[in-house]
Amino acid sequence: MSKKVELIIIVVAVAVVATLFGYWYFVMRVPTSSPPAPEPTIAPLAAPASLGETIYEQAQNPVADKMPEVESPAVNPIEGAYKNPFE
């Protein structure tokens, strides 16, 4: 056999072995189970401790439900400004 044929046979054999190893590694291998993660504990809510929280709780909005008085123009003030030539 020539060197070229031997090289092709070796490359094919290595590719087959690599494919079989990859199949075993990703499909057949049983993954090791890790210990379960501890359940997170939720700390109870603390009373407001900072100055910003205290001010926010005491703040009042004097214009809570008031809307400014505005003269409303017509529904569409530029209604007749443009005439579509395709209509």
Q: Where are the domains of the chain?
A: 1-31
The CA distance from 30 to 18, in Å, is 19
Confidence of residue 79 (pLDDT cuts 50, 70, 90): confident
pLDDT, mean over the chain: 81
Of 38 and 13, the one with more pLDDT? 13
Q: What percent of the chain has pLDDT over 90?
A: 23
CA dist 32 and 35 (Å) reads: 10
Q: Supply the Cα-derived Rg of the chain in whole angstroms.
A: 38
| Mean pLDDT along residues 3-27 | 93
